[in-house]
Structures are given as C-alpha cells and as structure tokens.
C-alpha cells in the first residue's frame, strides 16, 4: 500500500482531504480533481461491502459502473461524459471490466471505466485480488496482482539532501513494493547515464533541471515531485518524495501534476502507465 494510506482506517477521507487541498492550490488541476472528488463517494459506498474476488466483476458491473458513469456525466469533461454514457449503453461491459484484469490493450474510455469501477475493489480485496488478476510477478510488476506500476514514491530518509527508499505503487490494486533507485520499471534499464531525473526548477532557472535535486524552494509548485525517465524505452514515471512533503498522497498528487506530465511528454517521453484520468 502507498505510504500515508496503509495504516489509515478511512483512506477515502484522506484522499478527499488531499484532493481538496491541491484543488485550492492548483487551479489548472480543477477539472481533474473535481472529477476525482465526485468519484470518492462512489468508492466509499463500493468498498463498504466488498464482494469476494470471484464476484468482483459482476459486483462492479451492477453496483459501481453505473454510479461511476453518473459521477462522470455530472462532473467530468464534456467529451468524457458523452463517451462514458454511450459506452454504458453498448454491449460487452463484462469484457470491458475483464480486459483491465487481464492487462489487455483497451480504448481510453474502456480503460477509464474499468479502472474507475474496479481499482477501489481490488485495493479493498488486498492479496485476494490476485485470484482475478493476470500479469507477471517480477520486480517490475505488482507481487500481489501482477499489475504495472503507476508511480514511484520515496520514503523520508531523515536527511534533507538524501532521497529515501524507493517503492512502486501498483496501478491496479494499490500494493507497494521496493524497487532499485537506478532502474526503469518499464524496461529494466539500470545504467545511470540513461536514466535522467527531472525536477521543477525555480522561476529564475529553466523549467525543469536534468538530474536536479535542488534544495527546498517555496516558489515551487511541486518541490516533492520528480520525473524518473528512461532514454532506452523513452518512458517515465512520476516520483513522489515523502521526505519533502509528508502530507502528500502519491495517487492524488500524481493527478494534480499536469505541468510535469506535459513537460515530460514534450521532451519525448511517454508515461509508462496512464493514470485514471488518462495521462
């Protein structure tokens, strides 16, 4: 599980709190965080009575998917709202959900609906999620469900200029597992010279600094975030440094970091795994 969530009794209350905080701080993330906040009550209701793993697809289809569509139509971007409403009326909803459990390639609207409907249930199931998920179990995939990593997070080290232990967070069930600092979770590249790190710089510098691990700067929007890139596969993951912001919740902070995602993509890197909102 991600830090700051694993021991909490009510993870959705914490995520709501962080999303509201970031929404007020970053107006450019208003649309994304508004939609996320509209989904939180859906997730709270869905996870209050988690079904057994064998029934997770049918439960998601009947009890979660329709409410995800309603929330998206009410609070999501117009194009997404129209797409999800149309998809709910189309056949193959079980296939849509099963595709995410099987790591299948999916159209963006299918992937959004599958993730939004299933991921909270898989997280609530914990290790039992492995019963319905396929995927490799190796150091670059979730040891529980075999899913790909959504992001990296770095534990607080206790020293301001030292980055703590790195973990990956599963895009599917929310499990965390340790991973090497110098390593690309997308392709396994381990040569430091091919693994640039970008961080936001102060306004007097370039937008991002290659391998820049600058000291704290109150003018920065995201002092606790970094972009871990790979020049072999041209993929990247966002990294959340908990030592720089103990209040961060990685899965929420990653949604709000739109400028960093855009900058990485402009530099020619592609997200290893798109997040719930598609970036």
What's this model's pTM, rounded to 2 decimal places?
A: 0.88
Distances (CA, A) of 102 to 99, 107, 146, 219: 5, 14, 9, 43
Q: How confident is the model at residue 217, as a pLDDT?
A: 59
Phi and psi angles of residue 187, each rounded to the nearest 5 degrees, phi first: -125, -10
* pLDDT above 70 for 214: no
CA distance 169 to 166: 10
Residue extent(s) of CATH 3.90.1670.10 domains in the chain: 149-271
| pLDDT band, residue 206 (cuts 50/70/90) | low
Q: Are 18 and 242 in contact (CB under 8 A)?
A: no
pLDDT (mean) for 68-84? 95
CATH architecture for segment(s) 149-271: Alpha-Beta Complex (3.90)
* pLDDT above 70 for 8: no
Lowest mean pLDDT among 76-80, 191-195, 201-205: 201-205
CA distance 244 to 232: 29
Q: How confident is the model at residue 156, as a pLDDT?
A: 82
Q: How confident is the model at residue 99, as a pLDDT?
A: 95
pLDDT tens string 149-184: 999 999 986 665 556 799 999 999 999 999 998 999
CA distance 118 to 112: 10
Q: How confident is the model at residue 60, as a pLDDT?
A: 96
Q: Where are the alpha helices (DSSP H) in 29-152?
A: 30-47, 56-59, 65-75, 78-89, 93-101, 108-125
CA distance 247 to 277: 22
* pLDDT above 90 for 131: yes
Provide the β-strand partners of residue 241: 154
* pLDDT above 50 for 215: no
Q: How confident is the model at residue 2, as a pLDDT?
A: 41
């Amino acid at each position: 599980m991600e830090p700051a969530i694993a021991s909490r009794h009510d993870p959705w209350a914490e995520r709501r709190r962080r999303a509201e905080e970031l929404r007020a701080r970053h107006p450019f993330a208003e649309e994304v965080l508004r939609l996320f906040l509209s989904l939180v009550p859906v997730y709270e209701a869905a996870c209050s009575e988690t079904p057994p793993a064998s029934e997770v697809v049918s439960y998601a289809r009947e009890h979660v998917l329709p409410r995800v569509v309603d929330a998206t139509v009410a609070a999501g971007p117009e194009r997404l709202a129209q797409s999800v409403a149309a998809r709910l009326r189309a056949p193959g909803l079980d296939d849509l959900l099963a595709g995410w459990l099987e790591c299948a390639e999916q159209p963006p609207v299918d992937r959004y609906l599958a993730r939004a409907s299933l991921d909270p249930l898989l997280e609530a199931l914990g290790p039992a999620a492995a019963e319905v998920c396929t995927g490799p179990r190796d150091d670059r995939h979730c040891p529980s469900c075999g899913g790909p990593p959504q992001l990296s997070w770095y534990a607080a080290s206790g020293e301001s200029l030292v980055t703590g232990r790195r973990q990956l967070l599963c895009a599917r069930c929310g499990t965390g597992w340790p991973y090497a600092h110098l390593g690309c979770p997308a392709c396994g590249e381990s040569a430091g010279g091919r693994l640039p790190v970008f961080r936001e710089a102060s306004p007097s510098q370039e937008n991002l600094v290659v391998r820049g691990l600058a000291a704290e700067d109150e003018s920065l929007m995201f002092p606790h975030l970094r972009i871990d890139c790979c020049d072999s596969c041209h993929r990247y993951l966002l990294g959340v440094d908990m030592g720089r912001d103990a209040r961060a919740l990685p899965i929420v902070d990653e949604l709000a970091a739109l400028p960093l995602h855009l900058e990485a993509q402009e530099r020619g890197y592609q997200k290893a795994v798109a997040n719930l909102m598609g970036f």
